[in-house]
Amino acid sequence: MKQLSKVLRLAQPTRLPRLGTRQARLLQTQAAIYTEPGDPQAVVRVVERNLPDVPGSNQVLVRMLAAPVNPSDLNQIEGTYPVKGTFDKLTTSTDTIYAAVGGNEGVGEVIRVGDGVHGLQVGDWVVPQRAGQFGTWCTHTMTNASSLSAVPADWRSGLDPLDVACLKVNPCTAYRLLKDFAALNPGDYVIQNGANSGVGRAVIQLARYWGIRTVNVVRERPQLDQLHQELISLGADIVVSDKQLATDDVKQQLKSLDAPVRLGFNCVGGRATLQMTKFISAGGTLVSYGGMSRQPVTMPTSLLLFKNISACGFWMNRWYNQSFTSSRLEDEKHQMWREILGLIQQKKFVTQPLVTSNWHSQMDIGKAQEAVSGAVTWGAGSKHAFEFTQ
């Protein structure tokens, strides 16, 4: 489900031949970089970057296929995110600078493999293992093979690269929220705010698939009826605005549900989250995975004492980091990826609407900069992503 904005084609150089014994040549690529933290629109700039076309030992050369722009990417550039960008020497067409490439999520294709690399081969689709290891807003990257995870060909067969590029953060967060914090039974309810976000839409679709019902709170807006129908079409059971949540009719409706509201998912914070938490059933849990309002989460003593509501947080990056030292979680990660991608293949799950910009490696830097600046602003109004095509 994609809405295309101004399309700026990112034609890549012809695929390189397999490694031989010849001396490396420089490959001209482009990347969106920043040399210091700050407002993304002010500090992110597009540069031409030269990379050797022969990887070093244990390295691979990757041609990026697609990469989204997530709120956490913008926080990282601002310097407010716990995971910092990797700053390193970067050779441009004019000089050498110390900079980081933006973006943490995406998918690329391996086009060259260095000596000593095992488990990856030319043609594999790969995603970053961890946030912050290398930037994904670029046409190509040279990175250590250990920083990549391969996506098996049968898992992504028939899928758009954007579906795989957007896998690791939002759908997986929704998956873990529904799996890890309560033993939900078919027919149970969960309530969430930010229901039209990437995670919110994923919660709706996964919950529907597993027989869980959802109460979905969105911000009051002029096009509320349109958004209501959109979320209902994804599988939402109840959709209300934060303003409607305070009305007597909606309060009575939610108090009369025929099954418990076992979980609440919060990505907003502030008073709106407190209002939502009141509808969680006794013994339930509020899980916060974001705080877009930048307001604290508060709970009255009555919810703690008389309803035994508990509150906790979830951060997908922490879960991934734990999976690297746990064979059980590593297996769960692969099962999670396989299941989500399988649902997309079966047309039972759709990636959130995206405004895509295609970026031509030979295009005027000014035009490339315009496309990137339009995508990395908090006021964009829609989620943006970059597509890289040959």
- As annotated, the active-site residues are 81
Closest C-alpha to 384, from 199, 40, 201, 375:
375
Query: What is the bridge-based pairing of β-strands 59-68 and 140-144?
Result: antiparallel
Q: What is the DSSP letter of 241?
A: E
The DSSP string of 330-342 is: HHHHHHHHHHHHH
Q: Do the Cβ atoms of 127 and 148 come closer than 8 Å?
A: yes
Write the DSSP assignment of 281-341 as a string of letters.
PTT-EEEE---TT-------HHHHHTS--EEEE--HHHHHHHHTT-HHHHHHHHHHHHHHH
Contacts of 12 (CB under 8 A, 6+ apart): 63, 139, 140, 361, 388, 389, 390
In contact, 349 and 206? CB cutoff 8 Å: yes
Taking the C-alpha atoms of residue 315 and residue 64, their distance in angstroms, rounded to an integer, is 26
Residue with token string 């005027």: 364
